[in-house]
């Protein structure tokens, strides 16, 4: 009896503090607050049941995220949501981490760039950014969410995503570039930015 009380206490102290983060992750995975809530409950349920598999003091957040993602994938296999499958081509064709994504981001290297500090990002409202993130293919979205929204390291991401670090970086770079282009185009459409190469009214 006493042992169970200790396990529950440890769970509350170590796992529960990550509830908000797991919810945020679940929301980006499922795209729906209702499904996110279900996924969070299932995640913590499963985590509690498998608590003996977790070594206290190691990376609880990554562990929970891994459970969450695996549950989501299993749900998805049952046909709830389909996303496009990305052809991963990790052949070394230069660019960043062999992705073929050009090292020099043309958006920032335009000599007519009137915003060399990227201030226009401050003008874009959060909902627009989140919509853009949500429109990314899932593998890219997960990478961007884990790194840029939740601050996981590459090693942690490799664990959650169950891929090598090289793949993490590749998806991250491609996802970020796609996202930047979308936000950049949105900023131009919304008038926050002059179109590239514009020379005046």
According to the binding rule CB under 8 A, does residue 131 interact with other proteins? Answer: no
According to the binding rule CB under 8 A, does residue 61 interact with other proteins? Answer: no
According to the binding rule CB under 8 A, does residue 19 interact with other proteins? Answer: yes
- Name the segment binding other proteins (CB under 8 A); options: 43-51, 61-69, 135-143, 189-197: 43-51
Of the candidates 24, 70, 25, 81, the residue with the CA atom closest to the CA atom of residue 47: 70
Non-local (6+) Cβ contacts of 147 within 8 A are 154, 157, 172
For residues 157 and 168, the answer to whether their CB atoms sit within 8 Å is yes
- Residue 9 beta carbon to other proteins: minimum distance, rounded to whole angstroms: 9
Q: Which of 53, 55, 58, 92 binds other proteins (CB under 8 A)?
A: 92
According to the binding rule CB under 8 A, does residue 117 interact with other proteins? Answer: yes
DSSP 147: I
C-alpha pair distances (Å), 76 with each of 29, 55, 156, 166, 171: 10, 29, 23, 25, 20
According to the binding rule CB under 8 A, does residue 50 interact with other proteins? Answer: no
Non-local (6+) Cβ contacts of 71 within 8 A are 39, 42, 43, 46
Non-local (6+) Cβ contacts of 35 within 8 A are 26, 80
According to the binding rule CB under 8 A, does residue 65 interact with other proteins? Answer: no
Residue 12 or residue 74: which is nearer to other proteins going by CB? 12
For residues 153 and 81, the answer to whether their CB atoms sit within 8 Å is no
- Name the segment binding other proteins (CB under 8 A); options: 53-61, 67-75, 78-86, 99-107: 99-107
Residues lying near other proteins in the complex (CB under 8 A): 4-5, 7-8, 11-12, 16, 19-20, 22-24, 33, 37, 40-41, 44-45, 48-49, 90-92, 96-99, 103-105, 107-109, 113, 115-119, 121-122, 124, 126, 129-130, 133, 144, 147-151, 153-154, 164-166, 169, 172-173, 176, 180, 183
């Amino acid at each position: 009896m006493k042992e169970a009380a200790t396990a529950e206490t440890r769970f509350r102290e170590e796992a529960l503090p990550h509830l908000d983060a797991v919810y945020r992750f679940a929301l980006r995975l499922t795209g729906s607050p209702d499904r996110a809530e279900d996924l969070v409950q299932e995640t913590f349920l499963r985590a509690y049941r498998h608590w003996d598999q977790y070594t206290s003091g190691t990376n609880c957040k990554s562990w929970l995220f891994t459970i969450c993602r695996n549950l989501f994938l299993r749900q998805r296999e049952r046909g709830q949501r389909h996303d496009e499958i990305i052809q991963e081509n990790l052949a070394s064709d230069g660019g960043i981490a062999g992705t073929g994504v050009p090292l020099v981001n043309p958006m920032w290297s335009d000599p007519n760039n009137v915003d060399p500090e990227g201030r226009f990002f401050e003008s874009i409202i959060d909902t627009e950014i989140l919509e853009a993130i949500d429109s990314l293919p899932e593998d890219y979205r997960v990478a961007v969410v884990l790194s840029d929204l939740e601050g996981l390291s590459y090693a942690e991401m490799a664990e959650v995503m169950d891929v090598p670090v090289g793949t993490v970086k590749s998806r991250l770079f491609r996802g970020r570039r796609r996202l930047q282009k979308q936000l950049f185009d949105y900023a131009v459409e919304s008038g926050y930015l002059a179109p590239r190469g514009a020379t005046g009214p």
